[in-house]
């Protein structure tokens, strides 16, 4: 594999660690008298005690030294106690053994997308991904490059044969290869599909052949709509240290808390830490402490049980949308039935213009979906729509799909 320095974007090369941040590790040594960091004195903090009550009646308190830790500046990689929880959580969940140097707590996966693009892409670089693509990723990536190698998505996820063919062509013609491959392996947003295990293996072979990194963005891994266990992650199958993985608690804990984590090879995670040092210092210690308290108080088994209960809620809504789609949509509107995530991707007849449908009919019919062009790297997918079933009742879903069916019928009549 190439050395890390050659992979980095020009802006990220030679970044020096914060000399003050690097001293944080010494502050916990017994008997240490620190005259270094300019930390506010805990005696000046406003909190005396914070009580948090969880559903089910369980509660925890942050007080004393724990509250001081949660209220004070902290390490750039992770709140120490939460880091230990996450290492165990990751091992149980994915079978991948991490250590503190291979994990960085983030302000949700979105920060990880931005950091990856910042670290690795210059303006003339490209990123390989599926089409359609998650618009949050496109927004983060477009902060640094407008070049994408986009490949189709089908019912088994990214079409890796198409990716291989395009990369082989680029290499044969001397074109600059993408800096990394971006994939959402479970509950793809917006596609609502999962990347098949054999395609994950193929993706790793492609990455090895062309010496590329893989960014595995997996916020819907545990939002499973059937009773199966999550399939192996790309990271767990990686033997060469090519995978940066992003995990999120937004879909299973509380999205407003903005907490997730990146994991991967130590040298890559070190670059994530250097970015944090120069941007936001660290993810909120208070939010990290709340998650750590929940995981410790409830235990990982109870946390997983809570997630499964929520998945049953989403499964009911998914089924309601599928049933209503079958009842109210024309037969030439196609879609996949997702087994994870919160979305269904509808492909309308090519004569339909989804954005026009929303612009001209949404207000009157009072139903809202997202036009497919929002998920395209090249202004395509104009005949597609994304629907989410996460925030509505089965009754609202049925009525919404009925209105969507009327919207489609109106558009098809308009275009003949």
Helix and strand numbers (H, E) in the chain are 13, 13
What domain range is 345 assigned to?
Answer: 303-415
The reply to whether 60 falls in a domain is no
The reply to whether 48 falls in a domain is no
Q: Say whether both 349 and 207 belong to one domain.
A: no
The pair phi, psi for residue 213, each rounded to 5°, is: -90, 160
The reply to whether 64 falls in a domain is no
The pTM of this model reads: 0.95
pLDDT in tens, 120-157: 999 999 999 999 999 999 999 999 999 999 999 999 99
Q: Say whether both 255 and 309 belong to one domain.
A: no
Under the banding of pLDDT at 50, 70 and 90, the label for residue 89 is very high
Q: Say whether both 211 and 314 belong to one domain.
A: no
Q: How many structural domains are present in the chain? A: 2
Helix-, strand-, coil-residue percentages of the chain, each rounded to 5? 45, 15, 40
Q: Which helix (H) or strand (E) holds 193?
A: none
The residue that leads in pLDDT, 318 or 229, is 318
Q: Which helix (H) or strand (E) holds 147?
A: strand 147-154
412: closest CA among 336, 365, 326, 348? 348
Under the banding of pLDDT at 50, 70 and 90, the label for residue 28 is confident
The pair phi, psi for residue 228, each rounded to 5°, is: -80, 155
CATH number of the domain within which 329 lies: 3.90.1150.10
Burial class (CB in 10 A: 0-12, 13-18, 19+), 360: middle
Q: Which helix (H) or strand (E) holds 385?
A: strand 384-388
The reply to whether 214 falls in a domain is yes
Q: Do 414 and 375 touch, CB atoms closer than 8 A? A: no
> Dihedral angle at the C-alpha atoms of 225, 97, 87, 31, nearest 10 degrees?
180
CA gap 380, 153 in Å, rounded: 13
Q: Say whether both 110 and 19 belong to one domain.
A: yes
Q: Say whether both 16 and 145 belong to one domain.
A: yes
CATH number of the domain within which 276 lies: 3.40.640.10
Q: Say whether both 248 and 372 belong to one domain.
A: no
157: closest CA among 222, 202, 209, 219? 202
The pair phi, psi for residue 345, each rounded to 5°, is: -105, 115
* Final residue belonging to a domain, choices 285, 317, 337: 285
Q: Say whether both 323 and 210 belong to one domain.
A: no
Residue 25 predicted with pLDDT over 90: no
CA gap 94, 237 in Å, rounded: 10
Residues 6+ apart with CB under 8 A from 173: none
The mean-pLDDT minimum among 13-22, 260-269, 301-310 falls in 13-22
Q: Say whether both 215 and 273 belong to one domain.
A: yes
DSSP secondary structure letters along 59-70: EEEEEHHHHHHH
Q: Do 278 and 266 touch, CB atoms closer than 8 A? A: no
pLDDT in tens, 388-410: 999 999 999 999 999 999 999 99
The reply to whether 86 falls in a domain is yes
The residue that leads in pLDDT, 90 or 24, is 90
Under the banding of pLDDT at 50, 70 and 90, the label for residue 27 is confident
Q: Say whether both 276 and 309 belong to one domain.
A: no
Q: State the chain's mean pLDDT as an integer.
A: 96
* Final residue belonging to a domain, choices 285, 316, 346: 285
**66: number of Cβ within 10 Å:** 16
The reply to whether 380 falls in a domain is yes
CA gap 69, 42 in Å, rounded: 9
Average pLDDT over residues 100-128: 98
Under the banding of pLDDT at 50, 70 and 90, the label for residue 258 is very high
Q: Say whether both 328 and 266 belong to one domain.
A: no
The reply to whether 13 falls in a domain is yes
Q: Say whether both 214 and 186 belong to one domain.
A: yes
* Final residue belonging to a domain, choices 250, 285, 320: 285
Under the banding of pLDDT at 50, 70 and 90, the label for residue 35 is confident
Under the banding of pLDDT at 50, 70 and 90, the label for residue 364 is very high
Under the banding of pLDDT at 50, 70 and 90, the label for residue 40 is very high
Residue 37 predicted with pLDDT over 80: no
Average pLDDT over residues 84-90: 98
Q: Which helix (H) or strand (E) holds 243?
A: strand 243-248
Q: Say whether both 335 and 399 belong to one domain.
A: yes
The reply to whether 217 falls in a domain is yes
The pair phi, psi for residue 29, each rounded to 5°, is: -70, 130
CA gap 5, 30 in Å, rounded: 37
DSSP 273: H
> Residue 182 CA to chain centroid, in angstroms?
11
CA gap 121, 125 in Å, rounded: 5
């Amino acid at each position: 594999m190439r050395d890390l320095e050659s992979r980095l974007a020009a802006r990220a090369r030679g970044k020096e660690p914060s000399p003050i941040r690097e001293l944080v590790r010494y502050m916990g040594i017994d008997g240490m008298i620190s005259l270094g960091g300019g930390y506010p004195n805990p005696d000046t903090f406003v909190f005396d005690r914070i009580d948090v009550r969880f559903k089910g009646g369980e509660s925890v308190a942050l007080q004393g030294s724990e509250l001081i830790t949660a209220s004070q500046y902290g390490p750039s990689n992770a709140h120490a106690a939460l880091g230990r929880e996450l290492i165990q959580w990751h091992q149980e969940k994915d079978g991948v053994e991490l250590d503190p140097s291979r994990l960085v707590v983030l302000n949700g996966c979105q920060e990880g997308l931005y950091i990856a693009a910042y670290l690795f892409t210059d303006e003339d670089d490209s990123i390989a991904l599926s089409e359609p693509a998650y618009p949050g990723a496109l927004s983060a990536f477009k902060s640094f490059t407008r070049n994408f190698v986009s490949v189709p998505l089908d019912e088994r996820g990214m079409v890796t044969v198409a990716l291989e063919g395009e990369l082989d062509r680029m290499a044969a013609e001397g074109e600059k290869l993408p800096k990394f491959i971006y994939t959402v392996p479970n509950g793809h947003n917006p596609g609502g599909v999962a990347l098949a295990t054999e395609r994950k293996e193929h993706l790793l072979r492609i990455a090895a052949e062309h010496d590329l990194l893989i960014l595995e963005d997996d916020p819907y891994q545990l939002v499973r709509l059937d009773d199966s266990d999550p399939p192996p992650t790309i990271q767990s199958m990686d033997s060469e240290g090519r995978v940066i993985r992003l995990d999120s608690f937004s879909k299973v804990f509380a999205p407003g808390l903005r907490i997730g984590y990146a994991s991967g090879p130590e040298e890559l995670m070190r670059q994530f830490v250097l970015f944090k040092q120069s941007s936001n210092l660290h993810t909120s210690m208070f939010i990290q402490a709340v998650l750590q308290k929940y995981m410790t108080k409830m235990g990982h088994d109870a946390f997983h049980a809570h997630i499964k209960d929520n998945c049953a809620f989403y499964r009911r809504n998914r089924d309601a949308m599928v049933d209503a789609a079958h009842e109210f949509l024309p037969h030439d509107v196609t879609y996949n039935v997702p087994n994870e995530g919160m979305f269904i991707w509808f492909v309308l007849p090519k004569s339909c213009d989804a954005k026009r449908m929303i612009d001209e009919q949404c207000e009157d019919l009072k139903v809202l979906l997202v036009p497919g062009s929002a998920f395209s790297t090249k202004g395509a997918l104009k005949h597609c729509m994304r629907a989410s079933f996460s925030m509505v009742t089965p009754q609202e879903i049925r009525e919404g799909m009925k209105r969507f069916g009327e919207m489609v019928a109106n558009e098809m009549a308009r275009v003949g």
